[in-house]
Amino acid sequence: MLPFLIKVFYATFFDKESCHPDTCALFLGGSNLEDLKSSALEDLIKKNDEIPQNFVHVVKKKDDYGFIHFNNVQEKDNFFYSVRGAKFKIEEEKNITVKFQPIKRKSNESLHSEYRNKPGSTWQPYYNLYDDSSHFIIVLCLPSITNKDEIKLFTEGEENIIISGEYKELDFAGSILKKSIPVGDFEYVITLPSKIELTSKVKIEKIENSNMFKFVIKKSQENKRIKLDVE
């Protein structure tokens, strides 16, 4: 169904959000994408000389679609105007194609998304991602979360970290005039640049005098050069 919709509409409807703001992301659809992971799809796109390379990364969903993310609106617009209306074949043997579309969201349905805190919300967390050669370090802002025990961690594959919990309602006297601090269940998926060590424990620290938490995640040793003993 999705490939048909992609051929017909530029404004594509779907029910999941991306990890970047909509203003800095495009919907990525096509054909024969089901078995590809984010990194594999991104590699194929990078090998295609006809597709601009000014994007940050690709996030592939389990179905036949994903998102392509950019640093800012201008880079996203430049990319889209270069590829508008075109379908690209990125792998000949399996006939894998991609097409890029603007994002248009359903407005009145619950969103279970890459960045979700309650139905219809568009709030996204602030975070920094670091690499110290042996670990990935995520520093994430979580308003109203006061203890690391309130946070749950999961993995999806070997490159996605899922951070979830529940934001508490803030109770202050008086009438509220503006409400933009999130409340309720949240679930954030952060795609890391490479695989992580699934058997290692993740260290979580609350940064003193702030609502920020630090997550220290060990990188996979799979591709690391290791000296071998010889006889």
Q: What DSSP letter does each residue of 159-195 carry, written as one string?
A: TEEEEEEEEPPP--SS--S---S--EEEEEEEE-SS-
pLDDT value of residue 199:
86
Instruction: Please check whether residue 173 is in contact with residue 145, taking contact to mean a CB–CB distance below 8 angstroms.
Output: no
pLDDT value of residue 13:
39
**pLDDT tens column, 30-58:** 888 888 989 999 999 999 999 999 999 99
CATH code of residue 151 = 2.60.40.790
Residues 10 and 61 placed together within one structural domain of the fold:
yes
Residues 86 and 19 placed together within one structural domain of the fold:
yes
* Residue listed under structure tokens 């609106």: 73
Mean pLDDT value across residues 88-104:
87
**C-alpha neighbours within 13 Å on the C-beta side of residue 28:** 31
Instruction: Please check whether residue 69 is in contact with residue 20, taking contact to mean a CB–CB distance below 8 angstroms.
Output: yes
As a whole-number percent, the residues of the chain with pLDDT over 90 amount to 26
Q: What mean pLDDT, rounded, does the chain reach?
A: 79
Q: Is the pLDDT of residue 140 over 50?
A: yes
Does the residue 231 lie in any domain? Answer: no
Does the residue 51 lie in any domain? Answer: yes
Mean pLDDT value across residues 135-146:
93
Decide which of 170 and 54 is more confident: 54
CB count in 10 Å sphere of residue 164: 14
Does the residue 226 lie in any domain? Answer: no
Q: Is the pLDDT of residue 104 over 80?
A: no
Q: Is the pLDDT of residue 214 over 90?
A: yes
Q: Which of 105, 131, 159 is the last residue of a domain?
A: 105
Does the residue 110 lie in any domain? Answer: no
pLDDT value of residue 123:
62
Q: How many domains does the chain have?
A: 2
Residues 8 and 89 placed together within one structural domain of the fold:
yes
Q: Which of 79, 105, 131 is the last residue of a domain?
A: 105
**pLDDT tens column, 80-89:** 888 876 889 9
Mean pLDDT value across residues 133-146:
92
pLDDT value of residue 117:
45
Residues 157 and 91 placed together within one structural domain of the fold:
no
Does the residue 91 lie in any domain? Answer: yes
Mean pLDDT value across residues 204-229:
83
Domain range for 55? 2-105
Q: Is the pLDDT of residue 73 over 80?
A: yes
Q: Is the pLDDT of residue 14 over 60?
A: no
Residues 138 and 168 placed together within one structural domain of the fold:
yes
Residues 81 and 125 placed together within one structural domain of the fold:
no
Q: Is the pLDDT of residue 223 over 50?
A: yes
R_g of the chain, CA atoms, integer Å: 20
**∠ Cα 53 57 63 (to 5°):** 115
pLDDT band at 222; cut points 50, 70, 90: low
pTM score of the predicted model: 0.47
Does the residue 195 lie in any domain? Answer: yes
Residues 41 and 88 placed together within one structural domain of the fold:
yes
Rounded-to-integer distance, Cα 80 and Cα 25, Å: 10
Burial tier of 136 (Cβ tally within 10 Å: 0-12, 13-18, 19+): buried
Q: State which of 71-75, 148-152, 189-193 shows the largest mean pLDDT.
A: 148-152
Rounded-to-integer distance, Cα 127 and Cα 113, Å: 17
Residues 99 and 7 placed together within one structural domain of the fold:
yes
Instruction: Please check whether residue 60 is in contact with residue 37, taking contact to mean a CB–CB distance below 8 angstroms.
Output: yes
Closest-CA residue to 117 (of 177, 180, 60): 180
Rounded-to-integer distance, Cα 138 and Cα 192, Å: 10
Q: Which of 58, 84, 105 is the last residue of a domain?
A: 105
Pairing of strands 203-206, 88-91: unpaired
